[in-house]
Amino acid sequence: MILRGLVRLAFVRALRPAPCLVGAGLLAWVLATSSISGSARLAAGEEFAPLWEHGALRNAGWSLAALFGLSWIALQALGTLSGWRRRDVDWLAPRAANPLALLLSTWLGLLLALGLLAFASAVAVELSAGRGLASWSEGPRAIRGEGGWLEFGSTRGEVLDCGALPAGSHLRLRFAFASGGPDARVLAVLRDPAGGAELARREQSVGTGGDLELACPAVPARAELRLACTEPGLRVYHDASAARVWLPESSERAASLALLARLMLDAASLFAFALAVSGWFSPSSGLFALLALALVALGSDTGVWPLSGLGGALAVLREGRVPAWPSARECAGSAAVSALSLALAAASLVRWRRER
């Protein structure tokens, strides 16, 4: 089913020297000039500033690699079928090869080309970022439910719904819509569900909206979280849907691997989709469809299934932290979209041959 020669042809055509040199030059320029902004340094605080410095570099490098690599090779995917019908038809058509084998092989070649570009980018980014500091990787959602208002004088209780946590984990809570004053203060206390012993406590200002990060010891499953607004006369909304666990990670360098995985997963869907759209319509229609999808993929924090939320992952990178690896659901979604798109592209080739 896989035609090695066609995999190689797609790979070589996608990695033409001129665009690779342009991409490498842009990446070098971005890595040489990117640094953390003053406001980002303030937001990071003293404790996290070194991670954010590396994160700024990683974010810039990966944003460029993702945008340039994905769009360049998606363009190759868009031009593939029209190229077969035009310049390659004389040697390809008489061989009567299986259309699905042609498409699967080409799709693999394009993915391998992006894989090589992304791997080279990862090496360049990590060499520029320097030694890898200990960091945190994005864990599961911490609390089920919607959340609610914290009023001064009353306490809101939540239960952690993410299993037991290892020592060194962080719990990030998000607050918003503070009203009644310029600066809301929030107290968060984590308690052992058996016996009620206090595990961790933090009180801080969240302004009119912001995050509170609670450093945790080893936490048993279903620990209790008590939240209170400590500023008299103020209220603030706790957004439970944004509450996240951050698990300790030995090196921030894992960020590049996680992003590489997400990039490849999105590329698999997008390249197959590009082959299908350009097969049934035209490369230019496919280009507009892909642009729309790319904007959604990069603009969404949570991801639009089956796309894996590359934009959210790049935002995590900015803090020097490690984005979550693609979930089984995301992988299954990408596999389904890829398979369906390749089948549609193959059908377009069959139709084209029949109508010629």
Q: How far is the CB of 93 from other proteins (least distance, A)?
A: 5
- Residue 195: Cβ-neighbour burial (10 angstroms; 0-12, 13-18, 19+): exposed
Tokens for 342, please give them: 């390749």
Q: How far is the CB of 113 from other proteins (least distance, A)?
A: 12
Q: How far is the CB of 142 from other proteins (least distance, A)?
A: 51
Q: How far is the CB of 133 from other proteins (least distance, A)?
A: 43
Cβ proximity to other proteins: between 87 and 144 the closer is 87
CA 68 vs. chain centroid, Å, equals 16
Cβ-based neighbour number of residue 118 at 10 Å: 22
**CB–CB of 199/223 below 8 Å?**
yes
Cβ proximity to other proteins: between 96 and 197 the closer is 96
Query: How far apart are alpha carbons 307 and 293 in whole angstroms?
Result: 9
Residues that bind other proteins (CB under 8 A): 3-6, 8-9, 12-13, 87-97, 354, 356
Q: How far is the CB of 242 from other proteins (least distance, A)?
A: 48
Q: How far is the CB of 79 from other proteins (least distance, A)?
A: 14
Cβ proximity to other proteins: between 104 and 125 the closer is 104
CA distances from 77 to 136, 198, 247, 315 (A): 36, 57, 38, 28
Query: How far apart are alpha carbons 225 and 193 in whole angstroms?
Result: 9
Cβ proximity to other proteins: between 18 and 96 the closer is 96
Tokens for 167, please give them: 């020592």
Q: How far is the CB of 15 from other proteins (least distance, A)?
A: 10
**CB–CB of 2/101 below 8 Å?**
yes
**DSSP H or E stretch at residue 128:** helix 99-129
**DSSP H or E stretch at residue 84:** helix 38-86
Cβ proximity to other proteins: between 88 and 198 the closer is 88
Cβ proximity to other proteins: between 4 and 144 the closer is 4
The DSSP output letter for 165 is B
Cβ proximity to other proteins: between 99 and 303 the closer is 99
